[in-house]
């Protein structure tokens, strides 16, 4: 049994014109425990929606998301929030650090709603990522690369079993992109967390042994814009 | 709960200026409400306090309130004089324990000079069971130009035993006016009583009769210098402070006095002032309404302050939700933040209240001699902060609903 199983996921939106538009149509997508997989897709192809459905931030119109055999897509919102806080890490393209919090506090926040604050572990993570002397700095006082590392630490602060990364290097200087990716993959491996990394950056995608094209798993893409779906 | 406070504390730190401004506004509102309630209540208690040592004041025909304000609080003008014979008649009654005459007409730099007898120091009780005590010196001699000063007068005018002064004519001091010829020597300074008596200079009543320029006998005669004895028919008093053997005797005397045309008896004194405060109660009510309004304005200020940050914070809430925070957590954060600001404002309100109360007490003491009990408890000191916290939390509900309904996926897209 895979750690994450998506079955017949459909996500539909109503356009301003009143038409029903299908964004996601994913018959099957599995991720094993500890597996690291890259999902290749162009901008606007629905990759973020795909990740939000997995994370329980969006409820699919149809289909199931199973985590460790449990149908989390059937959970009520509050239970889904708790599941996310306990089991899932999320790395955003824009990092989404909170400006009013220090680097250490941002990481502590990542575990606040799940296992509970553990400042020592947060400090350990940041130290591992080379930010030992930046713990009390706020995001605005950090470089982009440093902000990215704080975001990585936050995503792994609750010791998740799966990490979702949405264009994790998209905002980084190409010189540092692979370094950041290496850190993310290294931390996930160290913690035994599975990783789903969506990106359109060929260098990022090439770094993964296991890689799928979003257009292949998302039938909605194939039907609407097949020519744009190729990375 | 700990995590909620963690988030609230960070949010307040991030919006420090608006947080401080809102706390100050809540503090001012809270302090104002507490002050209005306590100052009005304490003023009423201080002025109508039941422990006045005497039962009634006899004075010229007219307003009982004016008589009480003039004789008890040494405020207002005297409603006029009554003949000495009336004083002697009252004094000789079997149901009167003591009757002490007051004659007024002069001041020392605005502080009232009251002519009386040494009974004021020997017999008179300014409060139940409490007589004047000397901080320094002793009583005046009835037949000498001597004076005893109250504590506020001594402190303000820097007067001590042995100092001399010349009285000014009238109850108000007019800058530039020439004093009387008579030179008085201070023989005693009284201990503070925390009553209007602290603002009085006591001199022998003969001194008032004999003061240059004073008229007696209904304004028809002047006591000439060197006159050995003043005929009783010439003498007049402004008021007589009366203590009965039994306070209810005042009712009988009041009936008698009302049948006559010369005098008014203010009895019971607390009732006279009670009626006054009742009539003036609308001022207190208006002040209370204004204070409530200020609280409501502070509540709206709090709402606006938090609401204005909502657009900026929508992303923050979406991130919190993405990290696993429930909608209810986000809602609670806002309500708790508003409540915390209100509670901090209320704590500041105690300081504001303290400052207003001390200031008001000083003004009231300076103007009337009556001292408010600054440390006295009042229910408003408890329910105002609680009410403020509730208003604050309610003010947070609207922004909290907005935070609650944040669409995470759309906001983070």
User: pLDDT per residue over A49-96, tens digit each?
Assistant: 999 999 999 989 999 999 999 999 899 989 999 999 999 999 988 888
Q: What is the pLDDT of residues B209-220, one digit of tens each?
A: 888 877 777 767
Q: Rg (Cα) of chain A, in Å, rounded?
A: 17
pLDDT, residue A228, reads 46
Instruction: Say whether pLDDT at B3 is over 80.
Output: no
B-chain CB neighbours of A116 within 8 Å are 3
Average per-residue pLDDT for chain A: 88
Nearest to B151 by CA among B186, B183, B127: B186
Q: pLDDT category, A229, cuts 50, 70, 90?
A: very low
B-chain CB neighbours of A57 within 8 Å are 321-322, 408-409, 412
Q: What is the mean pLDDT of residues A123-141?
A: 92
Angle, CA of B125, B128 and B133, to the nearest 5°: 45
Q: Answer whether A100 sits within 8 Å of B14, measured CB to CB.
A: yes
Average per-residue pLDDT for chain B: 87
Nearest to B369 by CA among B190, B239, B208, B204: B190
Backbone angles phi, psi at A225, to 5 degrees: -130, 70
CA–CA dist A132, A134 (Å, integer): 6
Q: What percent of chain B is modeled with pLDDT above 70?
A: 98
Q: Answer whether A81 sits within 8 Å of B409, measured CB to CB.
A: no
Please give the distance of CA B341 from its chain centroid, rounded to a whole number.
Answer: 32
CB neighbours of residue B395 within 10 Å: 29
Q: Say yes or no: B315 contacts chain A, CB-CB below 8 A.
A: yes
Q: Which of A172-186, B58-72, B240-254, B392-406 has the lowest mean pLDDT?
A: A172-186
- Say what the ipTM of the complex is: 0.88
Q: What is the pLDDT of residues B51-69, one digit of tens each?
A: 677 889 999 998 888 898 8
pLDDT, residue B49, reads 59
Q: Say yes or no: B386 contacts chain A, CB-CB below 8 A.
A: no
A:B CB pairs within 8 Å: 76
The residue written with tokens 């983070």 in the block is B412
Q: pLDDT category, B86, cuts 50, 70, 90?
A: very high
Q: Say yes or no: B410 contacts chain A, CB-CB below 8 A.
A: no
A-chain CB neighbours of B316 within 8 Å are 98, 100
């Amino acid at each position: 049994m895979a750690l994450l199983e998506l079955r017949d996921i459909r996500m539909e939106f109503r356009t301003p014109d009143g038409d029903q538009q299908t964004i996601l149509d994913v018959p099957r997508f599995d991720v094993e425990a500890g597996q690291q997989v890259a999902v290749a897709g162009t901008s606007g192809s629905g990759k973020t929606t795909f990740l939000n459905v997995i994370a329980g931030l969006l409820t699919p119109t149809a289909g199931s998301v199973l985590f460790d055999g449990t149908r989390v897509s059937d959970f009520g919102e509050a239970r889904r929030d708790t599941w996310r806080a306990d089991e899932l890490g999320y790395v955003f393209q824009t990092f989404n650090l909170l400006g009013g919090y220090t680097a250490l506090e941002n990481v502590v926040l990542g575990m606040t709603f799940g296992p509970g604050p553990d400042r020592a572990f947060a400090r350990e993570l940041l130290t591992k990522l080379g930010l030992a002397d930046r713990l009390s700095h706020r995001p605005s006082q950090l470089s982009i690369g440093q902000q990215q590392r704080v975001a990585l630490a936050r995503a792994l602060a609750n010791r998740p079993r799966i990490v979702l990364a949405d264009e994790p290097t998209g905002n980084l200087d190409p010189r540092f992109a692979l370094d950041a990716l290496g850190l993310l993959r290294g931390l996930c491996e160290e913690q035994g967390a599975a990783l789903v990394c969506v990106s359109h950056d060929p260098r990022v995608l090439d770094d993964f042994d296991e890689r799928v094209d979003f257009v292949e798993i998302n039938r909605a893409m194939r039907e609407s814009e097949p020519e744009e779906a190729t990375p | 709960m700990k995590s909620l406070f963690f988030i609230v504390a960070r949010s307040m730190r991030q919006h420090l200026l608006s947080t401080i401004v809102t706390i100050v506004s809540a503090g001012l509102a809270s302090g104002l409400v507490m002050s209005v309630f306590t100052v009005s209540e304490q003023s009423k208690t201080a002025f109508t306090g039941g422990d006045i040592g005497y039962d009634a004041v006899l004075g010229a025909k007219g307003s009982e309130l004016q008589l009480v304000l003039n004789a008890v609080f040494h405020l207002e003008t005297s409603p006029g004089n009554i003949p000495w014979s009336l004083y002697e008649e009252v004094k000789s009654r079997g149901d009167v324990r003591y009757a002490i005459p007051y004659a007024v007409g002069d001041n020392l730099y605005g502080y009232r000079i009251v002519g009386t007898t040494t009974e004021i120091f020997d017999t008179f009780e300014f409060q139940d069971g409490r007589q004047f005590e000397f901080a320094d010196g002793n009583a005046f001699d009835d037949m000498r130009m001597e004076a005893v000063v109250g504590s506020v007068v001594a402190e303000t005018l820097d007067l001590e035993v042995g100092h001399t002064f010349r009285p000014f004519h009238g109850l108000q001091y007019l800058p530039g006016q020439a004093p009387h010829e008579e030179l008085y020597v201070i023989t005693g300074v009284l201990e503070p009583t925390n009553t209007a008596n602290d603002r009085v200079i006591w001199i022998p009543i003969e001194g008032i009769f004999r003061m240059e320029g004073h008229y007696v006998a209904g304004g028809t005669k002047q006591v000439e210098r060197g006159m050995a004895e003043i005929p009783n028919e010439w003498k007049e008093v402004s008021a007589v402070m009366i203590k009965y053997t039994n306070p209810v005797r005042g009712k009988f005397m009041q009936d008698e006095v009302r049948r006559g045309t010369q005098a008014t008896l203010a009895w019971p004194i607390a009732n006279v002032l009670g009626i006054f405060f009742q009539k003036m109660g609308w001022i207190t009510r208006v002040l209370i309404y204004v204070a409530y309004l200020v609280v409501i304005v502070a509540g709206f200020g709090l709402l606006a302050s938090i609401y204005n940050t909502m657009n900026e914070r929508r992303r923050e809430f979406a991130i919190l939700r993405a990290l696993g925070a429930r909608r209810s957590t986000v809602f609670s954060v806002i309500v708790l933040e508003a409540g915390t600001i209100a509670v901090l404002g209320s704590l500041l309100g105690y300081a504001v209240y303290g400052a207003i109360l001390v200031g008001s007490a000083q003004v009231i003491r300076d103007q009337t001699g009556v001292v408010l009990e600054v440390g006295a408890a009042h229910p408003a000191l408890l329910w105002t902060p609680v009410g403020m916290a509730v208003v604050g939390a309610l003010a947070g509900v609207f922004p909290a609903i907005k935070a609650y309904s944040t669409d995470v996926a759309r906001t983070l897209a």
